[in-house]
A and B are shown apart, each in its own frame.
Chain A
Amino acid sequence: MGTRHRVVRRPARRPWHPAASAPASPDVDEDVDVETVVDPARPWDVIVWDDPINLMSYVVWVFKRVFHFSEPVARKLMLEVHEQGRALVASEPREQAEMYLQQLHGYGLQATIQRAE
C-alpha cells in the first residue's frame, strides 16, 4: 500500500441528534375518541445520522456492504446524511431493520430504527 498521506475531514454541522429527534406531538382533537391501533405489518425505518468523524468514503463502503447498494446509490445516500443530517436508508419488517441496525452500529455508524409513519 502507498504512503500518500491524505486526510478527509467532515464539517461539524449536525442539525440534531437521534436521541432528540422524536417527532413533535401531532395536534389532537380531544373531542374525538381515538383508538390507537398499531399495524404489526407496518415497516420500520432505518435512519443513519451524520457525525463528524466517520469518513465519507467509509460510509459509502458500509452502505454498499450492508445494503448491497450500487456505488451511485450509496454515495447519494451518504451525501444526504452529510447534508441533511440524516437519511432513510431502508424500510423493512422489524426483525430485518434490527439486523441492519446491528450491522450499522458494528461499523460505527449512528443509526436508529423507528416504526414507519
Chain B
Amino acid sequence: MDVEVHEVVLPPALVVVLGRLIDELLALHDEPPGTSDPVWDRLYPVTSSATADDAEIRELVHPDLVTSRREALTAIAGHLETSVDSADGAVILLDDEQAVQFLGAVNDVRLALAARVQPALFRDPDVEWPPAAPSRRRAAMVELVDHLAWLQEQVLASLDAETHAHYDAVDHDKVQDSDARAGDDHDDGHDGEDTR
C-alpha cells in the first residue's frame, strides 16, 4: 500500500518561530495553570452548557486530550528540528498521520496566539478579531495568526483536495450568500459556487 507523503516547505524563519511557539505550548502543558489562563481555557474549553455537567464531563474528556495534545506537539517540534534546508526553504516530509498532527498543532498555535492577543476573545462576543489598533507587538502576533492560516490551507490542500478545491475556487462570502439562498436541501453534492 502506498504511503502518502506530504511535503511542507516553510521559510526558515517560520520554522524557528513555530518551534518557539510550540515549545511555549509544551511548557504550558508541563505546568498547567492553576488559575484561569486564556490559552489553556481555549485549548480545553467548556464541555457543557449545563454548569453542573461541565466539571464532570471535563474530568472524563480532558485528561486524555492533554496527553495526546502534548504528544502531538512534541512530535511536531521534532519534525521542525529535523527539517531539511533546500533552495525553496525548510522542507518537512510527513505521512498522513503526521500531517494531521501538524495541522492540529498549527491550529493550536493560532488559537493560543489569538487568546494571548485578546484574552477575552473566546468568552466575550463583543471582543472583535482582529483587534482595532493593536500595539506593534500584538499586530505582529495577529499577522502571524494570518500567516499560519496560509500554512494550514497548504496542509489542508495536501490532505483533502476536495474541500480545498472548493475554497480555492470561490469567494467565501459569495458561497455563504448562495448557500443561504439554497436553504436546507443543499445536499445534492453541488458545491454552490454558481450564482443563483
8 Å CB interface, B145-164 against A: 145-147, 149-150, 152-160, 162-164
- A58 with B152, Cβ < 8 A, contacts A1-B8, A76-B186, A83-B176 known: yes
Q: Across the interface, do B154 and A2 meet the contact criterion of CB distance under 8 Å?
A: yes
Give B92 Cβ to nearest chain A Cβ, in Å.
10
Give A52 Cβ to nearest chain B Cβ, in Å.
4
Give B103 Cβ to nearest chain A Cβ, in Å.
8
8 Å CB interface, A3-48 against B: 3, 5-9, 12, 14-19, 21-23, 47
Q: How large is the interface on B (under 10, 10 to 19, 20 to 34, 35 or more residues)?
A: 35 or more
Binds A, one of B26-34, B75-83, B188-196: B188-196
8 Å CB interface, A35-76 against B: 47, 51-58, 60-61, 64-65, 70-76
- A6 with B150, Cβ < 8 A, contacts A22-B49, A52-B129, A72-B191 known: yes
Chain B: interface secondary structure? helix
Our pick among A6, A18, A79, A105 for the contact of B179 (Cβ within 8 Å) is A79
Number of interface residues, chain A, beta carbon within 8 A: 54
For B98, list chain A residues within 8 Å (CB): none
A50 vs B46: C-alpha distance when bound (angstroms): 14
- A57 with B156, Cβ < 8 A, contacts A51-B122, A76-B186 known: yes
For A106, list chain B residues within 8 Å (CB): 65, 68-69, 104
A64 vs B6: C-alpha distance when bound (angstroms): 20
Our pick among A54, A55, A57, A72 for the contact of B190 (Cβ within 8 Å) is A72
In the complex, residue of chain A having the shortest beta-carbon distance to the beta carbon of B88: A3
Q: Across the interface, do B146 and A102 meet the contact criterion of CB distance under 8 Å?
A: no
Q: Across the interface, do B114 and A53 meet the contact criterion of CB distance under 8 Å?
A: yes
In the complex, residue of chain A having the shortest beta-carbon distance to the beta carbon of B148: A7
**In the complex, per-residue mask of B93-135: 1 if CB is within 8 Å of any chain A CB, else 0:** 0000000100110011011001000000111110111100000
For B103, list chain A residues within 8 Å (CB): 58
A106 vs B47: C-alpha distance when bound (angstroms): 12
Give A71 Cβ to nearest chain B Cβ, in Å.
6
In the complex, residue of chain B having the shortest beta-carbon distance to the beta carbon of A63: B163
Q: Across the interface, do B107 and A58 meet the contact criterion of CB distance under 8 Å?
A: yes
Q: Which of B57, B124, B162 has the most CB of A within 10 A?
A: B57
A residues with a Cβ closer than 8 A to B are: 1-3, 5-9, 12, 14-19, 21-23, 47, 51-58, 60-61, 64-65, 70-76, 79, 82-83, 98, 101-102, 105-108, 110-115
